């Protein structure tokens, strides 16, 4: 079923038209990825379909009674609203009912003996059953758990950028619309959350439109690609890999046709230049055809970024980190970390949001101070730090002036010198755009400009903090090629699995409590190692369980050598009491999990307690088996 149609839609923003006379439609089963250069109009295209932006010409037709949800790159929130209120904010009665139910459950958690609250929760449960809202409630509970949203009483103004993005995403997923529109949904999400979102959208039954730079995500989720290029929108009926194959075929065909046309023009020019006397014998039709051929406009070449900037010489001493530690309040981010950075290092840093990845880069660049430890920087080191916030950007400055602050001339990799203006053109800022104010650029164009400024300083140590956020795929490909030949050391914090696979050869994972663990290879290699270790851990647990079972049914006769001390005998007695008490509590929890199946907050509390007790029980059993073997 055709769910949305565009008829002759055009949009122009001053300097250039974004797209003109676009006519297309998509079905209710389409999962469409939208790609194109920064500033080409991807976000504007989504806004026009969502109805938050009006086209200059044409119209958008949406099927009647179809619901639509739109997640923008920077969602606007009521800063005083709680997470719960924000997630379940909607005009529909069912969403209000779920919000009231979740609020009542939260209040009941604080005052479990309140009879009025118990009655209210019971009544709301009944209303949810009648309205069919339980399906949405169950989906909401699953989404909130997977997105790591546990404390829904917090106010939006207290949340970090990553937390706010998760809340906005949770709202759109819980609504379960017929048409879901997502603009850069993977920004600020860690790899585990991206994998959840990827799996969720693969199972999603409605129509999906999304803009993303994550090529693995794009390839695994979509079944259709829209490319915005040179004022038009072209549709490709497949995923990202299919698009690449067809695009290569198109470019090869265009190159062949362009070569044939150039040869024909050369022949016609030679023919016309034979002189007036010779031409009198020529066909008037052929003369007119020759002029028409030469008058035809050449197809504008597709814009491609060109990163051809050199780097400074790097000595033997680069960055040396000794016993580095950093905490915020009682939260330890880095604990006694040491590392000697080498010239050919290509390091990818991963970990949960807030685990300390950016903190490490900020300490290396001396933007924040460590609690203890030392960092020594070599004399030849010139660090280029591409931070998440693009803090060096001044929105009231012109593009050309911003770049000239770094250098009037740039030395390219082949040793040539070009002007700052020429370098801007290589980064897809034509002369007309170079005198625009930075504040008029799109988010992606600002990030591309910021990247140029960092690279123009010719660094020999690059620190990249989430470089893939807001950069288009073409820019990322060019950056990857630049890094292939980069002559210095690279440290990159990223959640983009494809980018990590392309650019790094070792992974540093922030595992919590200040621990940083190194894995050899790229991100895919890390996943293989992690899976293998998980499987090995499961095998160890299975063997331990078998050992415990054999101990419980074995002979009660114990060796009389190596007898227990008085203290160990007391420990054994305590364990013989603790083990059945823990097992009884675990049995109670199993019953309570069924009893409180509709209470998300209680469930979370029970699951956490269950997990903790299972670990304790294993420890008790292991110690008991060891002591029991030596007991009289």
Identify the CATH number of the domain in which residue 381 sits. 3.40.50.300
With H, G, I as helix, E, B as strand and everything else as coil, classify residue 52. coil
The share of the chain scoring above pLDDT 90, in percent, equals: 35
Q: pLDDT tens across 35-56, in order?
A: 998 888 999 999 999 999 999 9
Taking every pair of Cα atoms in the chain, the longest distance, rounded to a whole number of angstroms, is: 124
CA atoms of 560 and 404, how far apart (whole Å): 85
What 3 state SS string does 273-292 have? CCCHHHHCCCCHHHHHHHHH
pLDDT value at 372 more than 90: yes
Can you name the residues that pair with 226 across neighbouring β-strands? 34, 235
Q: What is the pLDDT of residues 274-291, one digit of tens each?
A: 654 544 545 566 666 666
Taking residues 518-542, what's their average pLDDT? 89
**pLDDT top residue among 459 and 277:** 459
Q: Are residues 446 and 576 in the same domain?
A: no
Residues 577, 503 within the same domain: no
Residue 381 — very low, low, confident or very high, per pLDDT cuts 50/70/90? very high
Instruction: Using the 3D structure, point to which of 140, 160, 180 is the last residue of a domain.
Output: 160
Average of per-residue pLDDT across 490-517: 94
What CATH number is attached to the domain comprising 605? Answer: 1.10.287
Asked if 326 and 515 touch (Cβ cutoff 8 Å), the reply is no
From CA 64, how far away is CA 4, in angstroms rounded?
A: 10
Q: Any idea which residue has 């420890």 for tokens?
A: 619
Total residues found in the chain within this entry: 632
Q: What is the pLDDT of residue 301?
A: 53
Which sign, positive or negative, has the C-alpha torsion 570, 575, 581, 582? positive
For the chain, helix (H) and strand (E) counts, in that order, are: 21, 20
- Residue 14 or 483, more confident: 483
Q: In what order do the strands lie in the sheet with 57-62?
A: 16-27, 2-13, 57-62
Residues 361 and 467 in one domain: yes
Q: Under DSSP, is residue 117 helix (H, G, I), strand (E, B) or coil?
A: helix
Asked if residue 430 and residue 350 are part of one domain, the reply reads yes
Q: Indicate whether 146 belongs to any domain.
A: yes
Tell whether 458 and 331 lie within a shared domain: yes
Burial class (CB within 10 angstroms; exposed 0-12, middle 13-18, buried 19+) of 475: buried
Most confident range, picked from 6-20, 248-262, 302-316, 476-490: 476-490
pLDDT exceeds 50 at position 445: yes
296 found inside a domain:
no
How many domains is the chain built from?
Answer: 3
Q: Are residues 588 and 502 in the same domain?
A: no
69 within a domain of the structure (yes/no)? no
Judge whether 228 lies within some domain.
no
If asked whether residues 617 and 489 sit together in one domain, one would say: no
What confidence tier does 181 reach under pLDDT thresholds 50, 70, 90?
A: very high
Domain boundary pick from 479, 498, 521:
521
Residues 564 and 443 in one domain: no
Boundaries of domain holding 611: 555-630
Whole-number Å distance between alpha carbons of 301 and 305: 12
Please report whether residue 508 resides in a domain.
Answer: yes
In a domain, 113, yes or no: yes
Does position 384 have pLDDT exceeding 90, yes or no?
A: yes
Q: Which two tokens stand for residue 428?
A: 């897809």
pLDDT at 412: 78
Q: Please write the tens of the pLDDT for every residue from 102-140.
A: 788 778 777 777 788 888 888 887 887 777 776 777 777
Question: Measured between alpha carbons, how far is 526 from 507 in angstroms, rounded to an integer?
Answer: 7
- Cβ neighbours of residue 148 closer than 8 Å, sequence gap 6 or more: 166, 193
Name the nearest CA neighbour of 506 among 495, 491, 484, 494: 491
User: Taking a C-beta distance cutoff of 8 angstroms, is the pair 472, 35 a contact?
Assistant: yes
- The Cβ of residue 35 has, within 10 Å, a number of other Cβ atoms equal to 24
Give the Cα separation of 497 and 214 in Å (integer): 8
Question: In terms of Cα–Cα distance, which of 387, 319, 308 is closest to 347?
Answer: 319
For residue 317, give the 3-state DSSP assignment: coil
Separation CA 427–CA 433 (nearest Å): 11
- Residue 555 is predicted with a pLDDT of 47
Q: Are 494 and 467 in contact (CB under 8 A)?
A: yes
Within this chain, do residues 515 and 597 fall inside the same structural domain, yes or no?
A: no
> What is the mean pLDDT of the segment spanning 165-175?
86
Residue 363 has pLDDT above 80, yes or no: yes
Q: Which of 160, 189, 207 is the last residue of a domain?
A: 160
Angle at CA 144, nearest 5°, toward 141 and 150? 105
pLDDT at res. 190: 83
pLDDT of residue 559: 44
Using left for φ > 0, alpha for ψ between -120 and 50, and beta otherwise, residue 166 falls in alpha
Residue 430, in any domain of the structure:
yes
Residue 444 shares a structural domain with residue 577: no
* Contact present, 487 and 342 (Cβ < 8 Å): no
Residue 502 sits in the same domain as residue 624? no
d(CA 594, CA 603) in angstroms, rounded, equals 9
105 lies in some domain? yes
Same domain, 348 and 495: yes
| Sign of CA pseudo-dihedral 107, 111, 116, 120 | positive
CA distance 128 to 151: 23
The C-alpha atoms of residue 582 and residue 208 are separated, in whole angstroms, by 48
**Mean pLDDT value across the chain:** 84
The DSSP bridge partners found for residue 229 are: 232
Q: Are residues 58 and 10 in contact, defined by beta-carbon separation less than 8 angstroms?
A: yes
Cα-atom radius of gyration of the chain, to the nearest Å? Answer: 31
């Amino acid at each position: 079923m055709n769910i949305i149609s565009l008829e002759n839609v055009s949009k122009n923003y001053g300097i250039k038209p974004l797209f003109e006379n676009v006519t297309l439609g998509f079905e209710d089963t389409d999962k469409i990825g939208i790609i194109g250069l920064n500033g080409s109009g991807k976000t504007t295209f989504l806004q026009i379909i969502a109805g938050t932006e009006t086209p200059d010409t044409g119209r958008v037709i949406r099927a009647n009674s179809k619901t639509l949800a739109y997640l923008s790159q920077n969602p606007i929130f009521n800063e005083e609203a709680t997470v719960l209120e924000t997630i379940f904010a909607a005009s529909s009665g069912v969403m209000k009912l779920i919000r009231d139910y979740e609020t009542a459950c939260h209040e009941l958690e604080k005052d479990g003996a309140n009879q009025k609250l118990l009655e209210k929760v019971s009544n709301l449960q009944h209303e949810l059953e009648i309205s069919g809202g339980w399906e949405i409630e169950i989906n909401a509970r699953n989404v909130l758990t997977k997105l790591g949203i546990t404390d829904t009483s917090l106010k939006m103004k207290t949340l970090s950028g990553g937390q706010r993005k998760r809340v906005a995403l949770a709202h759109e997923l819980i609504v379960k619309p017929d048409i879901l529109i997502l603009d850069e949904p993977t920004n600020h999400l860690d790899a585990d959350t991206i994998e959840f979102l990827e799996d969720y959208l693969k199972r999603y039954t409605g129509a999906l439109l999304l803009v993303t730079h994550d090529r693995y995500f794009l390839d695994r989720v979509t079944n259709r690609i829209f490319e915005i290029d040179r004022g038009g929108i072209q549709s490709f009926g497949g995923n990202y890999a299919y698009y690449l194959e067809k695009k290569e075929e198109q470019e090869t065909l265009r190159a062949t046709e362009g070569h044939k046309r150039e040869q024909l023009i050369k022949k016609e020019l030679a023919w016309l230049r034979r002189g007036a006397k010779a031409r009198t014998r020529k066909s008037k039709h052929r003369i007119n055809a020759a002029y028409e051929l030469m008058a035809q406009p050449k197809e504008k070449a597709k814009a491609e970024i060109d990163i051809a900037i050199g780097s400074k010489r790097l000595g033997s001493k680069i960055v040396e980190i000794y016993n580095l530690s950093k905490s915020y309040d009682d939260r330890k981010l880095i604990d006694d970390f040491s590392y000697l950075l080498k010239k050919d290092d290509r390091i990818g840093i991963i970990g949960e949001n807030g685990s300390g990845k950016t903190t490490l880069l900020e300490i290396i660049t001396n933007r924040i101070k460590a609690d203890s430890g030392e960092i020594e920087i070599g004399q030849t080191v010139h660090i280029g730090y591409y931070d998440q916030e693009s803090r060096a950007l001044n929105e009231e400055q012109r593009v050309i002036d911003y770049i000239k602050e770094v250098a009037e001339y740039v030395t390219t990799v082949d040793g040539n010198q070009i002007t700052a203006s020429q370098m801007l053109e290589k980064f897809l800022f034509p002369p007309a755009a170079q005198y625009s104010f930075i504040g008029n650029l799109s988010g992606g164009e600002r990030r591309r400009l910021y990247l140029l400024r960092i690279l123009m300083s010719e660094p020999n140590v690059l620190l990249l903090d989430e470089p893939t956020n807001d950069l288009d795929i073409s820019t990322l490909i060019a950056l990857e090629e630049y890094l292939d030949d980069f002559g210095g050391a690279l440290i990159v914090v990223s959640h983009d699995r494809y980018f990590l696979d392309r650019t790094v050869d070792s992974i540093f994972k922030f595992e919590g409590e200040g621990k940083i663990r190194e894995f050899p290879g790229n991100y895919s290699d890390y996943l293989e190692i992690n899976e293998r270790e998980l499987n090995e851990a499961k095998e160890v647990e299975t063997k331990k369980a078998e050992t415990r079972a054999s101990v419980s049914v074995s002979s009660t006769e114990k060796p009389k050598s190596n007898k227990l001390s008085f203290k160990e005998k007391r420990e054994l007695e305590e364990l013989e009491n603790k083990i059945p008490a823990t097992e009884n509590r675990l049995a109670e929890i199993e019953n309570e999990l069924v009893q409180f199946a509709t209470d998300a907050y209680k469930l979370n509390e029970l699951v956490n307690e269950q997990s903790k007790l299972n670990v304790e029980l294993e420890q008790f059993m292991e110690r008991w088996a060891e002591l029991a073997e030596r007991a009289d």
